[in-house]
Amino acid sequence: MITVLPVEGMPEVHPGDEIAELITACIELFDGDVVVVTQKIVSKAEGRLVEVADDAERLALIERESVRILRRRDELVISETVHGFVCANAGVDLSNVDEGVAALLPVDSDRSARHIRDAIRARAGIAVAVVISDTFGRPWRRGLVDVALGCAGVAAIVDLRGTEDTRGRTLQATEVAVADELASAAELVMGKDREVPVAVVRGIDPTWLRESSVKAEVVRPHSEDLFR
């Protein structure tokens, strides 16, 4: 059984804030917890905020954060970001920030996750895992889901290839994107219109707790990508 707990009472986050400190003031954590933190407050704490006066500046910003544009329609740009993610508007986000300000994705979300994980360990003496989440659209399916931009202390992918199914037949392709599923599970208690930027997933399989990286394990290399 796993439980997913919203972290209530988080204050507004400002550049320079230590997110680990804000979280540990709001919830008691336990060894093996996965702390899922939305990208927005990580970007704010890291000062990844840029002034955008108008739509033209916003578009220029999106292009600067992109290495390649895949599709455009009206105001929507689907691009590959400098981090290797394919998403809308290069992750440049105007919601829940001040008017005329855009939040960019963290420079290195795996590093951001490690920083929060290490700071929680240093402050509270608790060994948690951390996932940095963001809300992405998908081709072919309507609706947005939360996925992992970065992780620390939990497997981005759990590789079940080579294990046997219940008939003793070797499974072929069952690399489960655990960090993405953790981000999605966390989103179920966050909502978009509430002030809940952090959730805790408690009770995951302890064998999933290991060093990992979304960049290294999830971002699909061009060579094996059929849609880029």
For its own copies, the binding residues in 209-228 under the rule CB under 8 A are 217-220, 225-228
Q: How far apart are CA 42 and CA 14, in angstroms?
A: 9
Shortest separation between residue 104's beta carbon and its own copies, angstroms: 17
- Minimum CB distance to its own copies, residue 193 (Å): 5
Could you give the CA distance from residue 43 to residue 105 in angstroms, rounded to a whole number? 6
118 vs 21: CA distance, rounded Å: 11
Q: Which is nearer to its own copies, 2 or 60 (CB)?
A: 2
Compute CA distances 34 → 19, 117, 126, 129, whole Å.
15, 10, 11, 5
Look at residue 1 and give its three-state secondary structure.
coil
Closer to its own copies at the Cβ: 88 or 120? 88
Of residues 54 through 83, those in contact with its own copies by CB under 8 A are 71, 73, 78, 80
Q: Give the nearest distance from C-beta 122 to its own copies in angstroms.
A: 27
Give the separation between CA 135 and CA 13, rounded to whole angstroms: 19
Which of residues 25 and 176 has its CB atom nearest to its own copies in the complex? Answer: 176
> What does the angle CA 71 – CA 73 – CA 79 come to, to the nearest 5 degrees?
30
Window 158 to 187, contacts with its own copies (CB under 8 A): 160, 163-167, 169, 171-178, 180-182, 184-185, 187
Q: How many residues interact with its own copies (rule CB under 8 A)? A: 72
